[in-house]
């Protein structure tokens, strides 16, 4: 009897172990299925988040490139402006020298005109003196009448 009881106990234990193993296997399969189900459930959200992160990183790198390009453009503009300013300064300096030269030439011309005016006045004065010296002594040719009669 004892053997029968022990055999039945062994059978019961074996059945219990079998059922425990099958339930354990089911739980493991079910556990894996639950995890896979959760992954499948959140997969679209994870993909969207990853894409958003990638896009954000790409935009940040593009933003860095844009700011770098802005800095380069600003540097080039300042160089161009500096070159234009130096060109304009040299052009202004050249124009100033031309103006100075023309002012000197104008002054020289005025001096020449003044000298010529003085010479003209001197010539006029000489002519006036020559005319005065001829007036007191009347010229016979001028005093003779035109009628053909000799004057007495």
Neighbouring residues of 151: CB distance < 8 A, sequence distance ≥ 6: 143, 144, 145
Q: Positive or negative, the Cα torsion across 77, 78, 80, 85?
A: positive
Q: What is the DSSP letter of 137?
A: S
What are the tens digits of pLDDT across the range 53-90?
999 988 888 888 888 889 999 988 888 888 888 898 99
Please check whether residue 90 lies inside any domain of the structure: yes
Please check whether residue 115 lies inside any domain of the structure: no
Contact 122, 128 (CB under 8 A): no
CA dihedral angle for residue 23, residue 28, residue 29, residue 34, rounded to 10 degrees: 120
Please check whether residue 18 lies inside any domain of the structure: yes
Based on C-alpha coordinates, what's the Rg of the chain? 63
Please check whether residue 64 lies inside any domain of the structure: yes
Please check whether residue 117 lies inside any domain of the structure: no
Please check whether residue 120 lies inside any domain of the structure: no
pTM: 0.37
Q: What is the pLDDT of residue 20?
A: 79
Domain that holds residue 44: 2-96
- Cα separation values, 111 from 4, 20, 106, Å: 154, 131, 9
What are the tens digits of pLDDT across the range 108-139?
999 999 999 999 999 999 999 988 888 755 55
Number of structural domains in the chain:
1
Please check whether residue 111 lies inside any domain of the structure: no
Please check whether residue 122 lies inside any domain of the structure: no
Pairwise CA distance, residues 149 & 5, whole Å: 202
């Amino acid at each position: 009897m004892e053997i029968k009881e022990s055999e039945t106990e062994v059978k019961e234990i074996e059945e219990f172990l079998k059922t425990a193993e099958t339930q354990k296997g089911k739980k493991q399969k079910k556990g894996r299925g639950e995890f896979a189900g959760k992954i499948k459930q959140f997969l679209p959200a994870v993909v969207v988040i990853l894409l958003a992160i990638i896009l954000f990183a790409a935009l940040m790198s593009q933003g860095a490139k844009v700011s770098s390009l802005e800095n380069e453009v600003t540097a080039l503009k300042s160089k161009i402006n500096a070159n234009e300013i130096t060109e304009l300064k040299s052009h202004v300096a050249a124009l100033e020298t031309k103006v100075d030269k023309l002012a000197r030439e104008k002054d020289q011309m005025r001096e020449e005109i003044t000298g010529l005016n003085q010479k003209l006045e001197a010539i006029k004065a000489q002519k006036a003196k020559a005319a005065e010296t001829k007036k007191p002594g009347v010229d016979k040719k001028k005093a003779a009448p035109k009628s053909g009669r000799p004057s007495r």
